[in-house]
Structure 1
């Protein structure tokens, strides 16, 4: 939220002008003179008394949707301005075809002081300077941080129309606006930052012309803070780290209370030297899921004098205030705050891009999924997603990315990059290939294209030969350009100098980063493979590297899983498939592999290739990451809701089709094969036809697959075995599917009035029961109290944020993830059935 207590200063053609908050106690007499002057008749305040003006200004000062400002020139008052939230005040309720209210919109009223009495002249150029100052103040990060300024002057006020035009305003239309006691004919107009800078008054000398991070603006920050604070309150409550209490006496206060209608809650915190109180409205759904109204979130601070004062919503301050409850180690709290800060910065940039129309809205994504360009639609959804992981609060840490790195490589920027290719000396490098793959087939042959074109292979061979090196002594290893710039050329300087690693330059194909950042989609040749590379940035509790040692067995694990899936009649009928990681490469010739203990530097030079889903699509099918189902655009419109509406199906039919494609195969893999995946949104690619999910592909098989039973496994696949008791096996569905995905989706559909949670979870139960009825042999091993019982009354509450709060550097031991988990009691299973006594 913008600070309304400081002075804004800017240089104009007539000298410096300042903007300061209006003080009713000091400024009322002056503003009474101005507002009641005949020259101010369009303000319609000519009959107000001094006390009435004071009351008006005081009311303005206590309303967080409106503010009054005094402008000075050389210390002398020369103008009065008001800024306001148009969606909450003057223009509230206007339909979208008149004004599409957007985050970052700011309304503005302006009154230049009446001219001095003759013979004193008005300073030439003063009104232009006043308008320039007000517009800079509205747009500047140190001012109001607006993205668009909206005005609605009286249609008869030709003087202000001319001034608005000079500042870059575009007239939308004339309309009748209700005011106190009558209707005003107003000229609705808008001005963007670009409009103003290109206008005669936007002369390029203002703060916008040199602002290096335009997305870090108050209006965007307020929205980002509110979203992240609301998510933090909801998820930390879900993980039983805190419990807000009902504001209304008599409302149920238990953790498992549910209600579809919004109710008010209060959270009081002792945050010395002040007591902090949060108030908000929320809906509460099964699995202790809270949906908090971000716009209505309020914070007050009660100081030593006992006075409660409004305070801005600040997600970083919230975490600091919650520290006694969160128990983040003191030495790691700054690291967590840094990841949270990066998440906030990313949220501001994402919101700005959508507000400016660079990123499609949810309905726009639905339209894209109906367009003929399948690859473009796939990547449009991928880059539009704003949430990151739905459960983790600090989910876009990306520690290590600079601002320019963010612009170049963040998935929501939808930029294109070219991989840098290294020749890695063969004796220090291992290339693992899946079934049917060969080295020439992967890289390409003179007669067939591979990951490299013939021209690239010829150029790379020539560059090696020119250095006196034999191309046959090397394998080709792709690296992210960030990794080359920040790691390979510095951290592995000795390896480059001795020609164990030889930089060959960028490849020809362009790639777009996926939500996981280090996974890249081939935009130039969409039917070619994904590439996953090591990127040594810290994100969501892990350094995002790739282990060459671990990569050795990855294709074999993928082959085994793919053979199991394709050989299972149930999975084939469900259309369930996996996107194989069919080749992997890793370099181990560096000194970091000579140390006794494992270390992050061993995970900086590896890559793998994964199948693209596009060659496996039929005519009329489209694909989208499942994470997109949890996406809400800047206006709050959910992609899942938009897809259901566009499909024309009843919501329960749409959800049933989705559950048949997603949940049913996962249940079968677990119960029939003891096979568990990490089935969060980014690891599933959904196939849609006519906006309905019909089948799904699982990906990220090598790192996030586990066999939870004693079945026989080939030696290279043995690494994925994790023998756990049956109730822990069930968490592969309870935690990763019910709590990790379906909890959020059911909350979206319920809050949107699309499908009540009771009906949603009934459908989930029906899918589980259908699998039982269709597989009696499997059901005999798993049922009420036997084996893996997905209808159990409760299950262990595994908490993700607690893991990150405990250790922001590495949340879990990847070699023994089960023992790293943190539990907070048990959750009531929303499809649980009481076992008869």
Structure 2
């Protein structure tokens, strides 16, 4: 019976999220019937009715337990997410093929969510907040914006249990020796390949590997060591790279080294026995959230130099250094291009991203005594009673909600906005790309990561970044400022703060408009100080105007619905919908004494 209860809960949760995101992305329309009652009418003749609060983002915060399905004059509790997508298929304009694949992703997501629900049974938000970051990530729900965020097409139940983040099962890598001339690689001068090996292998394990290398006549002067995920090896590498394996250009050395724990991103792994050791990011050719989780080869040569350059910016820039902004540097990258697919123009991108690795600094290596690190995604995680980790941290800090948020915004949003305005650097800073460093349960600073496709440059004259590595300029996207600003608007405000502000409204009765008023005050204070030090920054702030009245609505779920699941040469690109009123602009339109009265909801109302 408990399993059936769990099944209903995870279905209701995904259904509520899907309704909310599809209405937000304007793929569906919800009509308000009373103060907090809304209805989505579908062409199939079915309608879904629910209680919700319309947030400042034109996004519905839906009470999942109130969703009812109306059909043929009858109504019943809606707890079947698959049936919802079948009912809405015509409205969503999706083909039968797309719907079938979507239902596949949905089934996998629901199964993973069931595991998480069982895992969190009896675990309070306070319990979770005390866990080490690496262990806590195995409790997290994942991206809130993606309707089906654990699709993992390509995996079955056995792989979910063995390699899924929620299972918290450790994994040991297989190691290959790859002939140097076959690779595209780059590494920091401080991290030679032998030292990278020692980050994953004990001295005894290194010796055992050396013995295997001698038996197979492998010399590290001619070869480079490369870890590979055991599933990736079994299902892709040993077949797709059979030519190189039979020639001896790629040699399987065997299973070696420490045990690693998959993080919430699925393909990034932390060292279980040595938390300060480098994280390892490996390609997994499974379709998850929006794309196949490979590793593009074009960033391998420039990754270490680029992340070192950004760290140097943080060290020499007063606004960043005083805030302690840091970079989880990618110290090495290695990619093995496929000999045939690289010759085919327009071949599916997943075939070009199958074999490689990135080594990245761990957050633990950046923390001093009295500090702890926490993935920003963890703030939103709730226990079975609805209490969130962010509410727990605020409570334990002894600070007011407003003061706690001031620390958060000064440590996270200000550095992101400064990098954008001063250097024309856009970072897609979603909640899995930001690691918070806490002292006494308040946010002290932020660690930034993931520059492989999530760092872009604004076009224009930015002499402050004139020393950027030339290898990075060759591969980084450069777009007009009005596009790059969405790395902050959409990548952070919509993707992170939208959910955080609504959670604090729901749980702590903290008005959304007050939330963005605090953010506006922190950003205005930063702007004032920046212009006082450098008057030219006033022009930059006009170029990157975060206080403009309207922003574009960027939609990710509609991309999958419209593009379907056919193989493509490039990763999916988001669709732009109708404009949104900017909450920062709204927060400055109301008198201070009115802000606390707007968009407030008590925890019992939703």
User: What is the TM-score normalised by the length of structure 2?
Assistant: 0.91
Aligned position for 2:240: 491
How much does 1:505 deviate?
1.6
Structure 2 match to 1:609: 359
The answer as to 2:504 corresponding to 1:752 is no
**Contact 1:421-1:506 at 8 Å conserved across structures:** yes
The answer to whether the 8 Å contact 2:422/2:540 transfers is no
Cα displacement (A) at 1:287: 1.1
Closer/same/farther in 2, CA of residues 723 and 497 from structure 1, 3 Å limit: closer
Contact 1:538–1:809 (CA<8 Å) still a contact in 2? no
Hey, what's the Cα distance between the residues in 1 that align with 2:111 and 2:575? 29
Which of 39, 61, 66 matches 1:266? 39
Question: 2:358 aligns to what SS in structure 1?
Answer: strand
Structure 1 residues 769, 812: closer, same or farther in 2, change over 3 A?
farther
- 1:669-721 CA-to-partner distances (Å, cap 9, x unmatched) read 11111111110010011111111111110111233111113334432011454
List per-residue Cα deviations over 1:362-411 (Å, max 9, x = no partner). Answer: 1212233xxxxxxxx1123211112x111110111111111111111111
Matched ranges for 1:365-404 at <5 A? 365-368=128-131, 377-386=132-141, 388-404=142-158
- What residue is the counterpart of 2:600 in the other structure? none
Residue 823 (structure 1) aligns with: 576
Secondary structure at the aligned position of 2:285 is classed as: coil
CA contact (8 A) 1:580 1:701 kept: no
Matched, 1:640 2:390: yes
Shift of 1:497: 2.5
Gaps of 5+ in 2: 590-606
**Local SS of the residue matching 1:716:** helix
Residues 1:411 and 2:174 aligned together: no
1:528-677 matches, cutoff 5 A = 528-588=277-337, 590-599=339-348, 600-677=350-427
CA 1:231/1:332 → structure 2, altered by over 3 Å: closer, same or farther? Answer: same
Instruction: Please give the residue correspondences for 1:318-337 in structure 2 after superposition, counting only pairs within 5 Å.
Output: 318-337=84-103
The equivalences for 1:51-66 within 5 A come to none
State the distance in 2 between where 1:811 and 1:654 align: 45
Q: Relative contact order, CA 8 A, sep 6+: which one is greater? A: 2
- Which has the larger helix fraction? 2
The answer to whether residue 469 in structure 2 is matched with residue 682 in structure 1 is no
Aligned equivalent of 2:585: 832
The residue number in structure 2 matching 1:481 is 230
1:619 counterpart SS class: coil
Query: Out of 11, 19, 40, which is 1:225 matched to?
Result: 11
Cα distance in 2 for partners of 1:270, 1:702 equals 42
Q: Distance in 2 between matches of 1:539 and 1:442?
A: 28
Q: Aligned-pair distance for 1:241?
A: 1.7
Deviations 1:453-499, CA, capped at 9 Å, x for gaps? 33333322322332344454321100111111211223333332322
1:673 and 1:353 map into 2 onto residues whose CA distance is 44
- RMSD (CA atoms): 2.2
* Alignment length (residue pairs): 579
Q: Report the Cα distance in structure 2 between the residues aligned to 1:300 and 1:589, rounded to whole angstroms.
A: 52
The structure 1 residue matched to 2:271, chosen from 519, 522, 525, is 522
CA contact (8 A) 1:225 1:315 kept: yes
* C-alpha contact 1:792 1:829 (8 A) present in aligned 2: yes
Q: Structure 1 residues 588 and 753, CA, compared in 2 at 3 Å: closer, same or farther?
A: closer
Check 1:443–1:620 CA distance in 2 against 1; reply closer, same or farther (3 A cut): same
The 1:719–1:324 alpha-carbon spacing in structure 2 relative to 1, beyond 3 Å, is farther
Q: Does 1:424 align with 2:178?
A: yes
Equivalence for 1:343: 109
- Secondary structure, aligned partner of 1:460: helix
The answer on whether the counterparts of 2:457 and 2:484 sit within 8 Å (CA) in structure 1 is: no
Say whether the 8 Å CA contact 2:12–2:78 is kept in structure 1: no
3-state SS of the aligned residue for 1:752?
helix
Q: 1:540 to 1:440 in 2, by over 3 A?
A: same
| Secondary structure of residue in 1 paired with 2:426 | strand
- What residue ranges of structure 1 are gaps of 5+ in the alignment? 1-145, 148-216, 252-262, 369-376, 445-449
Relative to structure 1, the CA distance from residue 727 to residue 549 in structure 2 (aligned partners, 3 Å threshold; closer, same or farther) is closer
Classify 1:721/1:499 alpha carbon distance in 2 versus 1 (closer, same or farther; 3 Å): closer
Please give the alpha-carbon distance, in whole angstroms, between the structure 2 residues aligned to 1:647 and 1:606: 42
Alignment of 1:699 with 2:449, yes or no, is yes
Separation in structure 1 between the aligned mates of residue 41 and residue 397 of structure 2, nearest angstrom: 44
* SS of residue in 1 equivalent to 2:496: helix
Match of 1:260 in 2: none
Taking a change above 3 Å as real, the CA distance of residues 626 and 221 of structure 1, as seen in their structure-2 partners, is: same
Shift of 1:778: 4.7
Larger radius of gyration: 1
